Structure 1
Amino acid sequence: MAKQKTPEEKNYKVIAENRRARYDYAIDEDLEVGIVLQGSEVKSLRVGQSNIAESYAEVKDGELWLVNSYIAPYAQAKMFPHEERRRRKMLVSKRELARLWNATQRQGMTLVPLVMYFNHKGLVKLKVGIAKGKKNVDKRQTEAKRDWNRQKQRLLRNG
């Protein structure tokens, strides 16, 4: 029997996903953060016009920022349009911010946005991964492991 979904899982709508991040980085842990947006940006996200593939997060001046994320301009907001690639502030607790700063500055980790979505309350959330960059050897190993798992599944299916 299929597992029943909780109310939080039912209303989870993905806006943008950074699929390349899991290939390029070894993600140690991920964290859900809020993001400060303007009204026209939220309207544009509801239509589904955004991209976080080339973006990254950084801790600067005691705040967490999302840099180089793209949110398309909203056509009906002609009087007060938003800037498409502006730096957007992300909302985290002081304790989390200190931990993120420690990971990036002392341990050489990178903050990579993984998924942008609307949560069950209709708020825009961003899942940020604390990651370390992979070398080409590591990428080949993960690719070989993925291929072997696919082949193993085929063999099990065909018997």
Structure 2
Amino acid sequence: MHDTPAHQSSGNDGIDILLVEDNPGDIRLTREAFKSAEQEIALQTVTNGDDAVEFLQGSSDNELPDLILLDLNLPGRDGCEVLEVIRDDSRLKPLPVLMLTSSEADEDAARCYDARANAYLTKPTDPVEFMSLVDVFEEFWLEQARLPPIPT
């Protein structure tokens, strides 16, 4: 491991994550799982695809999240449609987007990767397994991977 956070932010050592999820139980579970993270994590939540697009397009550069956890099955625009908007916007395009979904269908994974998702993670139904997934997520995405720098 290294002592320097992988995240390069403007004077803030925390990680800002946007969770786009419509299931209140999954939102609660995700919040609980991130409470045990070694890094400070600010988790913002929107509950449908249209609100996610509005939030991202309406954010200034320094308000954008460092990472997006995006459910596939959402009210309004689905996760892939949100991802396509992100990848078609030059300002949003660099944001890492991880699909975090209950779908195990190969065609859903293929569709998300075709839309340029950075990863496709299937949500475990067991809370203990979900916590384990968050640990792996934190180890790789927050400690090992280098996130894109925030524009200044």
| TM-score when normalising by structure 2 | 0.24
Higher strand proportion (structure 1 or 2): 1
Answer with 1 or 2: which has the greater Rg.
Answer: 1
Higher helix proportion (structure 1 or 2): 2
